[in-house]
Amino acid sequence: MEPLIEYLARGFMVMLAISMPCVLVAAGIGLVVGILQAVTQVQEQTIAAAPKILAVFLVIIIGGIGFIRILTNLFTDGMALAFNVVPKNENYVLSSDYYKYTTPFEGEMRINNDSKIDDIMKNPGKVPFIDNQQKMRYLPSSRTPMPRPDFVETNKILGR
């Protein structure tokens, strides 16, 4: 687990290293423009936007190659970690019969009738329709409960 946490921490540091120059330049330009606006008493909010955009754009252009190198190094280290370290460490690898004893999608997929699957496989062009018994057993999903109408809506529905 330690190499993965170290890689995550390195990813955060790379994120800070790439975004920090842009943020600092934008803050510096905002400070300078704010001081100039205070001195000249021109209080227009849009004046600060154009210099900030241009300065951040220049920082991205100037530092772009370095940013790409940093990201490339992070990516290659991540691939080396994923393909060389994790498969060789027994703490990260699941046994081959792991899914035999677990049900990963227990609440999401339930198929009760295997004969319907055979019918679907034999007739790929036909759309299977639900029969009336299954229509009667339909229950709304617990994840998205259907709200009950309030008193006014109930009266409108019933025509009172």
For the stretch 54-71, pLDDT in tens is 999 999 999 999 999 999
Q: Which pLDDT score, from 0 to 100, does residue 49 have?
A: 86
Q: Which pLDDT score, from 0 to 100, does residue 21 have?
A: 93
pLDDT digits (tens, 9 = 90+) for 90-118: 666 666 666 666 665 555 555 555 566 77
Q: How far apart are CA 77 and CA 62, in angstroms?
A: 25
Full-model pTM = 0.50
Q: Which pLDDT score, from 0 to 100, does residue 93 have?
A: 60
Checking if the pLDDT of 25 tops 90, the result is yes
